[in-house]
Amino acid sequence: MAKFNQKKRRRLSKWQRLTLSGTIGLVMFFLLFGWLFLVDLEEIQSYANRPVDAILVLGGSIRREIYVAQLAKQSPEIPIIISGGSPDPCIFLIFQREGTPMEQVWLEKCAKSTVENFYFSLPILQKSGVKKLKVITSPTHLPRAQWIGQILAASHQIWMDVETVPEQGIPGNREFWLKTASGITHSLILGAIGQFYSPPPCTNLIKLADVNIPDWRQRGFKCERQGNIN
């Protein structure tokens, strides 16, 4: 009898998983169907061939910040937002080491997830007139970051390209289908709501040039070993 009950529980558990998967799939379908009516995809497509207006770096690996510091030397006039990245002094010292100007670099400290990276950063970029955005992340963060980003960028009438930076050691992000599905569903909801309601701006936005390194040295900080920051 005990074995029978165990098997029954397993069957129920499997059935519940299938039901959950089906429900999520159905919700995502209807959200996507509705979202397509709210955004002007033809207009967004027209921005694909124009120069990049801004760069958004998704936090999760210091190698992304090293990469963007090197990239920014070529076009220091392009604004950069680093969302949920490494500790402020670590990013400052990376840019200082590379000799990269910091006046156009902003640290967005409100985001705690991939969805929030875009949710808090995109309104800032849209307000600045950005039409084409380059997003920097890692291969281990795909395809979730790309799907979420494209949905939310399109809801702000912004074309988005993704550039990946290889990681070393333990990946900063690990992908699971349920996490991906949840993030896409969340972004579809936010994208649809955003057509009628503007989210509150991030109140924790810091210009990189304003980071107080002497104060941080007194308080103490720790950077990822891959950053090679003393």
Q: What pLDDT shows up at residue 55?
A: 98
Q: What pLDDT shows up at residue 230?
A: 72
Tokens coding 81: 């937002």
Q: What pLDDT shows up at residue 191?
A: 76
Going by their DSSP bridges, the two strands 80-83 and 159-164 should be labelled as unpaired
pLDDT along the chain (230 residues), means of 10: 46 59 56 55 88 96 95 95 96 97 96 93 94 94 90 92 84 63 77 72 93 95 88
Helix (H) or strand (E) holding 150: helix 144-155
Superfamily designation of domain 43-227: HUPs (3.40.50.620)
pTM of the model: 0.81
Beta bridge partners of 54: 133
Q: What pLDDT shows up at residue 1?
A: 47
Amino acid in the structure at residue 49: N
- Helices 114-127 & 144-155 angle (0-180, nearest 10): 30
CA distances from 206 to 7, 46, 107, 223 (A): 56, 32, 5, 18
How far the first Cα of the chain sits from its last, in Å, is 64
